[in-house]
Structure 1
Amino acid sequence: MATQITENVKVSVETVYQSEYSNPQNDHYMFAYHVTIENLGEHSVQLLRRHWVIFDSAGAKREVEGEGVVGVQPVIAPGETHDYVSGCNLQSEMGFMEGTYQMMREVDGVMFEVHIPRFSLVAPFRMN
Structure 2
Amino acid sequence: MIISSDIKVQVQTRYLEDHVSVEEGKFAFAYRVNIANHGKQPTQLLSRYWLITDGNGKTSEVQGDGVVGKQPTIQPGESFTYTSGAVIETPVGSMQGYYELQNADGERVKAAIDIFSLRVPNIVN
TM-score of the aligned structures, taking structure 2 as reference length: 0.94
Q: After TM superposition, what 4+ stretches of structure 1 lie above 4 angstroms from structure 2? A: none
- CA RMSD in angstroms comes to 1.3
Opposite residue 26 of structure 1, the aligned amino acid is E
Counterpart position of 2:93: 95
Task: State how many pairs are aligned.
Answer: 123
1:109 pairs with 106, 109, 116, which one? 106
Shift of residue 116, structure 1, vs aligned partner: 0.7
TM-score of the aligned structures, taking structure 1 as reference length: 0.92
Distance 1:88 1:98, change over 3 A: same
**Higher-helix-fraction structure:** 1
Counterpart position of 2:83: 85
Counterpart position of 1:59: 57
CA offsets per residue over residues 58-82 of structure 1, 9 Å max, x none? 2310101100000000000000110
- Equivalent position SS for 1:25: helix
Counterpart position of 2:14: 16
Moved more, 91-100 or 55-64: 55-64
**Percent of aligned pairs with the same amino acid:** 40
Shift of residue 34, structure 1, vs aligned partner: 0.2
Moved more, 72-81 or 19-28: 19-28
